[in-house]
Structure 1
Amino acid sequence: MTEVDPLVMDDQRRHWRTTFQSNPAMYGPAPSGPALHALELFERERVRDVLELGAGQGRDTMAFLRAGMNVTALDYAPEGLAELSDAAASPGVAVKLTTAAHDVRSPLPLPDESVDAVFSHMLFNMALTTGQLTTLAAEVRRVLRPGGWHIYTVRHTGDPHAGTGLDRGDNMREHGGFIVHFFDQDLVNCLGQGFSAPEIVSFEEGDLPRRLWRVTQRKTVPANDAPDRSRRSSPES
């Protein structure tokens, strides 16, 4: 079994920063398919405060901002966030945007129960061990309000790149300098503690194509925290 090398994992930050510096707007301005799905759900559920993890250069962030939502965008490459801030200035939505350079291996810089939804597109696929992902999922639950939504996408073990490339341990593989953690059903279930049963939708993206799952869950409320509905007034006779 290949051991995870923390130094190799840490170097991903440098790799992403270099990538954003060399490729301004590398993903283009159009929002991803998962973001459009999330936007439809968020508008229907009247979501107002969104946390986006791994926002990058902000193509999905801008869709949420234009819909009138307040967005906190986190990424550990400040170069991408700078491009996002510039993009938000033109349509006048910068007032609804908060950005922060942040490594999701550390606790999320938000108070408890402070957002209605958390969204990420392939952030959970980054160079994160299973233990780090479990901690991150718990942090997502902490910052979500009761009933809040968690939508994330991941490449899974049915992807053409799974099982190929450099083995980095813990179901992680490196291709072209990028380390990807490939998910299986057990890992989705493991990260779902404190959430509703996951809705998992398969989709493809890109030229390879990448094969992904879109996972949608809702923060559950413990039974002892739910309103007491057992005391109901009897109808008058």
Structure 2
Amino acid sequence: MNTGHVELARVQQERWESAYARRPQLHGAQPSAAVEWAAEVFGAAGIDDVLELGAGHGRDAFFLARQGFSVHATDFSEAALDQLRHEAQREGLDDRVTAALHDVRDPLPPADATVNAVFANVLLNMAFSPSELRSLVAEIHRVLCPGGLFVYAVWSTDDPCSRHWRQLDDGLSMHDGFVGRFFDESLVTELAEQWRLDDTAPYDEGQRRMWRVTMTKPGPES
């Protein structure tokens, strides 16, 4: 972790690690609505390999794998990734799902322009400073091939839950010890600079009000 709120990041990492250790399958086994959309978008583009950031215990990675994609899943929780690896082996998906410990505040491991698709469900909502958030999106842009796709989903500022979170600095909020950032449309648009913004859609998932965003890294001809 090179920039931003280093101490906050450390505390949040420990909190997520503890949460995954206490509650295996913390987010349930059903895939997110965002990954169902992403699978359609990636499949229509002829993509068969996906980098998932903030994969947790793997519910979305497994959905993608069952649809025929190869998935490289990353998270900063070793407890979550242990669960992911165990489940992948149990389901016979370990030939399609690989996992690596990684904090996205650090540069992404892939080389420039070597990834076809990136997926992230609520990762961008986590406790990033504004500069860390911009750096993360720039890193995703760097590793994607020209024409590569980035699909992400985030909590919206229209989510009623946001009113019950305590406001912190830099647009962050806290609830029950967890820190995050709710997205409005202007932030979605700001992060789409240098991208082609293909689709922005508000939607509900359970009691959450969300944004779903699909972006393409432009090619040389764009």
- TM bin, normalised by shorter chain, reads over 0.9
Q: Which residue of 2 aligns with 1:134?
A: 134
Q: How does 1:48-127 map to 2 (within 5 A)?
A: 48-127=48-127
Is 2:187 aligned against 1:210? no
What amino acid sits opposite 1:46 in the alignment? G
1:30-75 CA deviation, whole Å, 9 max, x = no partner? 1111111111122222211201010000000001112221211110
Indicate if the aligned counterparts of 2:74 and 2:99 stay in contact, CA closer than 8 A. yes
Q: Which residue of 2 aligns with 1:226?
A: 221
The more displaced of 46-55 and 161-170 is 161-170
Shift of 1:197: 2.3
Is 2:188 aligned against 1:188? yes
What amino acid sits opposite 1:160 in the alignment? P
Shift of 1:103: 0.8
Give percent identity, aligned residues only.
37
Indicate if the aligned counterparts of 1:163 and 1:173 stay in contact, CA closer than 8 A. no
What amino acid sits opposite 1:70 in the alignment? S
Indicate if the aligned counterparts of 1:150 and 1:218 stay in contact, CA closer than 8 A. yes
Q: Which residue of 2 aligns with 1:34?
A: 34
1:146-193 CA deviation, whole Å, 9 max, x = no partner? 111111011122121335432221111111111111112221122112
Indicate if the aligned counterparts of 1:5 and 1:168 stay in contact, CA closer than 8 A. no
In the alignment, the residues of structure 2 paired with residue 184 and residue 131 of structure 1 have an alpha-carbon distance, to the nearest angstrom, of: 17
Query: Which segments of 5 or more consecutive residues in structure 2 lack a partner in the other structure?
Result: none
In the alignment, the residues of structure 1 paired with residue 72 and residue 22 of structure 2 have an alpha-carbon distance, to the nearest angstrom, of: 25
What amino acid sits opposite 2:70 in the alignment? N
Indicate if the aligned counterparts of 1:112 and 1:144 stay in contact, CA closer than 8 A. yes
In the alignment, the residues of structure 2 paired with residue 54 and residue 177 of structure 1 have an alpha-carbon distance, to the nearest angstrom, of: 19
The more displaced of 163-172 and 143-152 is 163-172
In the alignment, the residues of structure 1 paired with residue 47 and residue 5 of structure 2 have an alpha-carbon distance, to the nearest angstrom, of: 39
Which has more radius of gyration?
A: 1
Q: Please give the TM-score of this superposition, normalised by the length of structure 1.
A: 0.87
In the alignment, the residues of structure 2 paired with residue 9 and residue 169 of structure 1 have an alpha-carbon distance, to the nearest angstrom, of: 14
Which of the pair is proportionally richer in helix?
2
1:106-130 CA deviation, whole Å, 9 max, x = no partner? 1011111122110011000000011
In the alignment, the residues of structure 1 paired with residue 173 and residue 61 of structure 2 have an alpha-carbon distance, to the nearest angstrom, of: 28
In the alignment, the residues of structure 2 paired with residue 6 and residue 26 of structure 1 have an alpha-carbon distance, to the nearest angstrom, of: 25
Residue aligned with 1:83, SS: helix
